[in-house]
Amino acid sequence: GDSVTQMEGPVTLSEEAFLTINCTYTATGYPSLFWYVQYPGEGLQLLLKATKADDKGSNKGFEATYRKETTSFHLEKGSVQVSDSAVYFCALSSPNSGNTPLVFGKGTRLSVIA
Amino acid sequence: DAGITQSPRHKVTETGTPVTLRCHQTENHRYMYWYRQDPGHGLRLIHYSYGVKDTDKGEVSDGYSVSRSKTEDFLLTLESATSSQTSVYFCAISSAGGLYEQYFGPGTRLTVT
């Protein structure tokens, strides 16, 4: 079945460092790909998405490119801030899944220190 | 922000008691979902609904039931709560299944003692 694999955390970075969180997927057909962010004590928020190969999703300085050849959707940010500390989830939605909802990775916790 | 509320936000209950969590949306979205979130497991789907009175099981449905009598409300019931059901429960909505993103509620923290 469809699956998402994320790099395990926690990831600890200093402020203004470069961030990469790896995400690879296994899916039939051409899935849509998403990154969600969860701040402490809150629900998940959609951060960005990409619906076809080579699409780049971006939001709040974060970017991710849908790479079909490597089945990847890595999240990047050029300069992280303390306020980016959160848990980040990669997810996919397959066009062949019918009513089946998103498939999530297990999440990667990011801590940014000043 | 999508109009999704969950109630209660926090609950402590005893083993063996029934518990009902409510999810309410104002977006008129067709699809609604219940997840649980536990350390080391990420998000796991419990049940979902693709219309009024149309529901289906997710990967961890044992011990849970759901009902949806109106588009805006999706109820999750633990018939007889157990300590293993201590978790944070999230509701989500989507305008359609398949390729569409989901929007999440703020969560309910349930503790079963």
- pLDDT band for position A98 (50/70/90)? low
- pLDDT band for position A47 (50/70/90)? very high
Q: Per the CB < 8 Å rule, is B99 touching A105?
A: no
A vs B: CB pairs below 8 A? 61
Token digits of residue B113: 């003692």
Q: Is the pLDDT of residue B99 over 70?
A: no
- pLDDT band for position B100 (50/70/90)? confident
B-chain residue closest to A92, CA distance = B99
- pLDDT band for position A34 (50/70/90)? very high
Best mutation target among B6, B31, B102, B103 (most A Cβ atoms within 10 Å) is B102
Q: Is the pLDDT of residue B98 over 80?
A: no
Query: How far lies A8's CA from each of A11, A56, A108, B35, in Å?
Result: 8, 23, 6, 21
Kindly report the nearest CA distance between residue B15 and chain A, in angstroms: 25
What pLDDT is recorded for position B12? 97
Instruction: Check CB contact of B32 with chain A, cutoff 8 Å.
Output: no
CA separation for the pair B113, A84 (Å, rounded):
34
% of chain B residues with pLDDT over 70: 96
Task: Calculate mean pLDDT across residues B52-66.
Answer: 94
Q: Is the pLDDT of residue B43 over 80?
A: yes
Classify the phi-psi angles of A41: left when phi > 0, otherwise alpha if psi is within -120 to 50, otherwise beta: left
- pLDDT band for position A77 (50/70/90)? very high
Q: Contacts of residue A105 in chain B, CB cutoff 8 Å?
A: 42
What pLDDT is recorded for position A38? 95
Instruction: Check CB contact of B88 with chain A, cutoff 8 Å.
Output: no
What pLDDT is recorded for position B96? 75
Of residues B31, B41, B99, nearest to A95 (C-beta): B99
- The identity of residue B111, as a single letter, is T
- pLDDT band for position A28 (50/70/90)? confident
Instruction: Check CB contact of B33 with chain A, cutoff 8 Å.
Output: yes
Average pLDDT of chain B to the nearest whole number = 93
